[in-house]
Amino acid sequence: MWMATLRAPYNARRVALGGFALLLLVLFLFPSQSQGVLQYFDGPIGQVIRIPLEVVASIDQGISGVWHSYVALQGVQTENEQLRQDIEWLKGQNNQLREAAAATERLTALLHFKEQALPTLLAAQVIGRDATSWYRSVILNKGESDGIKSDMGVITAAGVVGRVVKTNSATSVVLLVTDPNNAIAGLIQRTRDEGIVEGTQQGLARLKYIPMLSSVRSGDHVVTSGLVGGFPRGLALGTISRIDKEEGALFQSAELMPEVDVSRLEEVLVIQAPYGMSVHTDGKNIPSGKP
């Protein structure tokens, strides 16, 4: 086995130990300033790292595309038949909902309600996962130079994916809805009770702080409440699978099955402005919808 050699001079050891002690001191005494200095260099470094990251991500997606398109096709016929049946059922539902939407539109006009502007969205590709095992997050191929900022909401057509927590000029990190450190304001669609949706260690989500008198039940849909954060009202968060009601507790909570399968994300939409605001370069959002 390898024998230790005393190659490094004594000075190098002192410099290393001194440097590390100084680093610890600076990090603990000036946490935000020291991180700010390093984040200043994130931009150019991020642009350089973007190249190998995107090359590897495109090769990876090419291989998984070939696998899913040609190799892993077992059971596709059965799935296809099931999906055809679902489409027929959804067509019927769609017709009913169109009728309901038309009625809502008439009533909205009648009551002079403000029309809600559509959110401003930006499409991005998922090019990686968190560099550590401690957080459930994904890396997007768009960053500050594309107008992405921290706290912006991220969605797919199915529902909420998560929230942007970190950006550099070329990429951004999205904390998933299933991460225990994430918190999004949610609303039970049927009962209109509000709560906070947090991730769980098991990779699911949990709606907390539901009032004890709420008639919430399994199968209820939870959507974003639109009150806090970068999400407009009504985006699907998940379906309640279990209610936890403890004797003597002030609130009840519910386990949620997230609408989006976060393990298979490829493309997402970043909400740059939840209520149709135009994004300006100085970071201020100015409403562009109807007054």
Partner 1 sequence: MKILAYSVMILLLVPLQTTLLPHVSIWGLTPDFGLAVSALIGLFAGELEGLVVGLAIGWILNMYSAGDLWVSLVTKGGVGLLGGLLGQHVAHVTPTVVSVGLLIFSAVGGVMAVLTMKSAFGADVWAMVQSMVLPQACLDAVVGAGLFYVANQQLASDRALMSDRL
Nearer to partner 1 by Cβ, of 240 and 265: the residue is 265
Residue of 282, 4, 44 lying closest to 171 (CA atoms): 44
Nearer to partner 1 by Cβ, of 8 and 110: the residue is 8
Q: Say how far apart CA 86 and CA 176 lie, in whole Å.
A: 28
169 near 145, Cβ under 8 Å? yes
Segment 112 to 131, residues that bind partner 1, using CB under 8 A: 127-131
Place of tokens 């001079």: 9
166 near 176, Cβ under 8 Å? no
CB of 10 to partner 1, least distance (A): 10
Q: Say how far apart CA 169 and CA 33 lie, in whole Å.
A: 19
Residue 76 CB-density burial (10 A; 0-12 exposed, 13-18 middle, 19+ buried): exposed
What would you report as the CA-atom Rg of the chain, rounded to the nearest whole angstrom?
Answer: 24
Question: Of these, 119, 120, 124, 137, which contacts partner 1 (CB under 8 A)?
Answer: 137
Residue of 284, 214, 225 lying closest to 251 (CA atoms): 214
CB of 84 to partner 1, least distance (A): 32
CB of 99 to partner 1, least distance (A): 44
Size of the site for partner 1 (CB under 8 A): 57
Say whether residue 201 binds partner 1 (CB under 8 A). yes
Say whether residue 287 binds partner 1 (CB under 8 A). no
Say whether residue 13 binds partner 1 (CB under 8 A). yes
Say whether residue 40 binds partner 1 (CB under 8 A). no
Q: Say how far apart CA 106 and CA 149 lie, in whole Å.
A: 37
Question: Of these, 147, 177, 179, 265, which contacts partner 1 (CB under 8 A)?
Answer: 179
What lies within 8 Å, CB to CB, of 44 at 6+ separation is 169
Say whether residue 168 binds partner 1 (CB under 8 A). yes
Q: Say how far apart CA 285 and CA 252 lie, in whole Å.
A: 37
Segment 49 to 88, residues that bind partner 1, using CB under 8 A: 49, 52-53, 55-57, 60
**98: which 2 tokens?**
């169109």
Question: Of these, 6, 71, 213, 250, which contacts partner 1 (CB under 8 A)?
Answer: 6
- Chain contacts with partner 1 (rule: CB under 8 A): 1-8, 12-13, 15-17, 19-20, 23-24, 27-28, 31, 34-35, 38, 42, 45-46, 48-49, 52-53, 55-57, 60, 127-135, 137, 139, 165-166, 168, 171, 173, 175, 179-181, 198, 201, 203
